[in-house]
Structure 1
Amino acid sequence: MRICFEALSDVYIEMENELKKIGASYLIRYAIEEMKKVVRAYIEEAKWSYNKDMPRMEEYMKVAIVTSTYITTSLVGMGNLVTKKDFDWITSEPLLVLASSTICRLTNDLVGYGFEKKPTAVECYMNENGASKEEAFAELEKQVTKAWMDMNQEWLRPTIPVSMSVLTRVLNFTRIAHLFYVEDDEYTNSKANIKDIIHSVLVEPIVTV
């Protein structure tokens, strides 16, 4: 734990030093506070596993949505493209971010069923409702569909008080989660398909004229 803490601290110190150059070092506080939330949620998940507890779906999702959060820290590296207002919005748990986190968490749990070493939404739903695996999958897939509908609805609202670059970042992270978990857990078990996609995007991108 100490090794992990020191490594994480070094990352945030380096980020803060870079942000000072553009007069935005205050942004690192948002990333640190969000990371604290993630660590607390990890502790809850560890307690469930250690005590062999199976939480109810509502309790599970409150924690699991936090552990799937990955957006706030990425905004820090966008420099002057983001503002304090953007960070205030994204850390207030708006519907767009909750929908994105729900998609990430549930698709991950669906493809990870059977080899995850901690409670997942599938087991929680089955245990709480006396449901079969097939019934649990059907319900969670409905929730993923609803989350995509929520994202589409939010994108069509012209009143969200943040920049388009932030909204695009949220959407792109969600699309990446879908890509990783559409058929298998290719984030944990990277296969040639994902490697080829990353290579085509970052190493040999298609140049449009």
Structure 2
Amino acid sequence: MKAAFEAVIQACNEIDMVAAKEGTSNFVMPHVKQAFINLAEAYLMEAKWCSEKYVPSYEEYKNNGVVSSFGPLQITSFLGPGNLATEEVFDWISTNPKIIEAVSLIGRLMDDVATHEDINEEHLNNPYDIPKSLLDYVVNWARVSEVVYENLQDRFTNGESLKHYIVVLCAKFDGDMDILCLFMD
């Protein structure tokens, strides 16, 4: 914790020096400091949930995840120095507008999916004694989502870009997917 705290102080000092040169320190630093406070509180909430073995509701997870995704802090600190640093911009950021919330939530969810640890643990340990084939089905939904939305593409809306994957599946399952394969001709 000491090393992390020192890194935060160093980052704030560097942002403050640049903002002072730009003449924006008086309104940049309060927002940056508040972003760090919000981030620390979100991390503490996640630590509390973990230590208490509490499973938050999706709404609790989402609300906390928007902050713990680090998105608001990144946006605030990147805007600090430069010609975008106006008091109006920082006031707008502090209202947590929907665009920042959405980007932060995407960052949180992508981070969670990328780690797969939470998914793998449940899948391998199977604490609910559910048939493995059902768990495979659930895990495959995460895999499908990854393929559909990888590389910042929306293959769900642009179904044509999924055609290659469907053709490969049809060939792999050799006729077991005849109905689906008819649509791909």
TM-score after normalising by structure 2: 0.61
CA drift of 1:57 comes to 0.8
Where structure 1 has 5 or more consecutive residues not aligned to the other structure, the ranges are: 120-126, 149-177, 181-209
Q: Quickly say closer, same or farther: Cα 1:116–1:51, change in 2 above 3 A.
A: farther
Partner residue of 2:68?
A: 67
Q: How does 1:89-100 map to 2 (within 5 A)?
A: 89-100=92-103
Q: How large is the Cα RMSD of the aligned pairs?
A: 3.5
Q: How does 1:68-83 map to 2 (within 5 A)?
A: 68=69, 69=71, 70-77=74-81, 79-83=82-86
Task: Say whether the 8 Å CA contact 1:42–1:67 is kept in structure 2.
Answer: yes
Partner residue of 2:19?
A: 19
Q: How does 1:41-190 map to 2 (within 5 A)?
A: 41-68=42-69, 69=71, 70-77=74-81, 79-114=82-117, 134-135=137-138, 138=141, 179=151
Greater relative contact order (Cα < 8 A, sep 6+): 1
Task: Say whether the 8 Å CA contact 2:42–2:67 is kept in structure 1.
Answer: yes
CA drift of 1:47 comes to 1.2
Q: Quickly say closer, same or farther: Cα 1:66–1:21, change in 2 above 3 A.
A: same
CA drift of 1:138 comes to 4.8
Task: Say whether the 8 Å CA contact 1:41–1:63 is kept in structure 2.
Answer: yes
Task: Say whether the 8 Å CA contact 2:15–2:77 is kept in structure 1.
Answer: no
Count of residues paired in the alignment: 137
TM-score after normalising by structure 1: 0.55
Q: Quickly say closer, same or farther: Cα 1:95–1:10, change in 2 above 3 A.
A: same
Instruction: Give the letter for the 1:59 counterpart.
Output: E
In the alignment, the residues of structure 2 paired with residue 56 and residue 108 of structure 1 have an alpha-carbon distance, to the nearest angstrom, of: 18
CA drift of 1:115 comes to 5.5
Task: Say whether the 8 Å CA contact 1:48–1:118 is kept in structure 2.
Answer: no
Where structure 2 has 5 or more consecutive residues not aligned to the other structure, the ranges are: 123-127, 129-133, 153-185
Q: Quickly say closer, same or farther: Cα 1:118–1:136, change in 2 above 3 A.
A: closer
Runs of 4+ with >6 A deviation: 116-119
User: Which is richer in helix?
Assistant: 2
